Amino acid sequence: MCIIFPMQTYLFPALKYSAVAAALLFMNACLPDQNDDPDSSDPDPKTSEPGAENAATADFGKTKAGESTEIYTLKNKNGLIAKVATYGATLVELHIPDKEGNFVDVLNGFDDVSGYEDDDNQYFGSTTGRVCNRIAKGEFSLDGKEYTLATNNDPNHLHGGGDKALSKQVWKAVPASDAQAVTFSLTSPDGEEGYPGNLSMKVTYTLGDDNELRIDYEATTDKATPVNLTNHAYFNLGGAGSGTVLDHELTLNADNYTPTDDTLIPTGKIEPVEGTPLDFRKAHTIGDRVPDKGASKTDDCKTAPKGYDHNFVLNGKAGEQRLAARLKDPKSGRVMEIYTDQPGIQFYSGNFLKGQTGKGGKTYPFRGAVCLETQHFPDGVNHDNFPNTILKPGETYKTSTVHKFSTE
Ligand code: GAL
């Protein structure tokens, strides 16, 4: 029987994601719960088909430390392409059509691993953790013991810390038996980046024929430890490097958000978005109300003076998949909907992008992309009133987020 991490339920659709089921079954032979799940014991005809091809793999370069990295290409029957790399279990490319059927890569990123190791990389497309977002002053206590983490975002801990943050490690890849899914795995040893427990993780990317890119996360530990995993993709639905996202229309399924101090640490309050520039319950362009367009007088945006950088409390029940966000580029007609079982989403409007050069020589300007990071609330480990982020031995952390692409 699978022990589910509180607040989260792993929803495993029956046949649609059977390629992932097969990959996870292969990877997780030791998981005690696999036979409890009727879906996971269902053999997948596609994966057992002789001659089925794995995702194509290519060299992604050597890290500074001399480790080899690879990139895998996922394709669906409609021509969508996603590329994922072993470095940081990173989503590197995502090619989706506009309303005329023209494909473009909508993600910020770099051509090879050297770009991802450079300071210009602001977690582009990476798997972030062990605890994504911020932990105040890099400190927390658990079971009577004090832990100190790197304060790599002075004065706070950000996205898992220093050189051994998940986004900076080379993960092991196992492609599914078709070209539509890859599972990355990594074990972070006890004490790495200051976190307790040997934490074993799997992240599976699946590109479905329904134009959904699904990311499934799983983790187990041998000591109680905080866990909060997300993907840090930067989207520009007009094409990465095509200008700002100020004209993108955003809807967020959130009545409330978590206000912060000046260092982006939540005060612990949960406040309504109503009457603030953070009210995206109906679609607004991102540029409508960013601070330098007259909305800076509210307390809500003072904490993120250069634009949006806030955690929204998603409506509906955490642990159940529901719509979190909808992003539309009116020019191209590209639409992305995000579904998740997580309690929160960080909406970050690319305020620290600085015109760095990325894939194919493209530049990524200030507010040139948007991140919509599904997650537990920032600094959750220090706030008893926020959803629990502690994973205990014997439990399995499971969560999934789906990005669904369409046009209108
Ligand atoms: C976001 C965070 C921002 C910034 C960014 C990385 O997740 O909310 O404040 O740190 O990552 O540059």
The verdict on the CB of residue 304 being under 6 Å from ligand 1 is: no
List, as one string, the DSSP characters of 17-75.
Answer: THHHHHHHHHHTTT-TTGGG-TTTTS--HHHHSTTPPPPEEEEEEE-TT--EEEEEEEE
What is the phi-psi region of residue 327: left when phi exceeds 0, alpha when psi lies from -120 to 50, beta otherwise? beta
When the candidates are 2.70.98.10, 2.60.40.10, 3.40.710.10, 1.20.1300.10, the CATH number that belongs to 18-407 is: 2.70.98.10
Residue 298 has pLDDT above 60, yes or no: no
Instruction: Provide the pLDDT for residue 405.
Output: 98
Question: Reduced to 3 states, what is the DSSP secondary structure of residue 152?
Answer: coil
Instruction: Provide the pLDDT for residue 290.
Output: 78
> What are the tokens at 266?
């939540």
How many other β-carbons are positioned within 10 Å of the β-carbon of residue 276? 17
- Strand-pair category, 181-188 with 225-226: unpaired
The verdict on the CB of residue 264 being under 6 Å from ligand 1 is: yes
Nearest CA to ligand 1 atom 9: 309
Over residues 168-181, the pLDDT tens digits come to 999 999 999 888 99
Over residues 199-224, the pLDDT tens digits come to 999 999 999 999 999 999 999 999 99
Over residues 134-166, the pLDDT tens digits come to 999 999 999 999 999 999 999 999 999 999 999
User: Bridge partners of 74?
Assistant: 82
Distance 395 CA to ligand 1 centre (A): 29
Determine the residue type at 286. Answer: I
Distance 382 CA to ligand 1 centre (A): 19
Q: Is the dihedral of CA 267, 273, 275, 277 positive or negative?
A: positive
Q: Map out the domains of the chain as residue ranges.
A: 18-407
The verdict on the CB of residue 158 being under 6 Å from ligand 1 is: yes
Distance 307 CA to ligand 1 centre (A): 12
Residue 248 DSSP code: -
